[in-house]
Each structure stands twice: as C-alpha cells, then as structure tokens.
Amino acid sequence: MATARDLMHTGCTCVKSNDTAANAARMMAELDVGSMPICGADDDKLHGMVTDRDLVLQVMAKGHDPETYTVDQLPQGHLFLADANEDVDITIAKMKEHQINRLPVIDQGRLVGIISIGDIAHRMPESVTGDLVGSIKA
C-alpha cells in the first residue's frame, strides 16, 4: 500500500502567517509556484494555503495595500489535508472530490510535504493520473 508520504515532495517553503501579501507574491515568483502553505510565524504548523489567485482577488482587487496586508488576513475556506500515512487512494479521492491540484501532507499536525498531480503522475499508473486530471476542472 502506497501512502501520501511515499508520493509527496518534501522541502516545502512556507510563507509565514505574519508575512505580507507582497512578500508572499515575491516568494511565489522566486519559487515559480502558484500556491504556498501558510505556516505559523514561530513554528511549522500549517495554518492554510495562499494562492496567486487569492492575492489578486482578495488583496489587489479589493484595494488593500499588499505591503501591509498580511496573509493571515486572507479569508480561509476549509483546508483539505492528507495525513502522511493515509493510503494514496484516499488522498487521490480527496483531490478528485474537492478538485484540488496540490494537497498539504501533515504528520502529527506538522507540515511534512505537498502532494501534487505531478507527484502522482510520476509514481502512479497513467490511468490513475488521467482519471485525476480529468476530474479536476481548470
């Protein structure tokens, strides 16, 4: 049985909860990613996720100053997670059901990695990947 831990990639960079939206955007640009986990200012406990879309729609479009607006001020919906030891079929089912491209992986409340469609594509049969991609709308 493969687990989320087996497929995830580690070494995730977090934006801290007290970082500004501008800093989050700079970090995303530097890392060439469209989303990042939000971790506590003093720990690696996962608080949420921030996306480039969040920054545009919740900060810029609403006239907030990205140099002072912090990521912990962003509205957060339900945070979907994968437990590091859960069966990868459960992880994939969550991604399909909730149309999620990237899912944070936690172990005892701490962020240990991210599992993405790309991670699944590299390690699972093509039929699994095709089904997952087909179920997630752009």
Q: How many CB atoms lie within 10 A of CB 124?
A: 17
Give me the pLDDT at residue 4, please: 94
Among 30-39, 56-65, 71-80, 123-132, which is the least confidently predicted range?
Answer: 123-132
pLDDT at 123 over 80: no
Class of 4-135 in CATH: alpha beta
- Quick one: DSSP state of residue 18? T
The amino acid sitting at 87 is: D
Q: Name the pLDDT band for 132 (thresholds 50, 70, 90).
A: low
Q: Name the pLDDT band for 18 (thresholds 50, 70, 90).
A: very high
Report yes or no: 27 and 60 within 8 Å, Cβ to Cβ. no
Report yes or no: 50 and 36 within 8 Å, Cβ to Cβ. yes
Higher pLDDT, 1 or 114: 114
pLDDT at 26 over 70: yes
The domain ranges of the chain are 4-135
Residues 74-108: b if buried by 16+ CB within 10 A, e if exposed:
beeeeeebbbbebebeebbebbeeeebebbbbbee
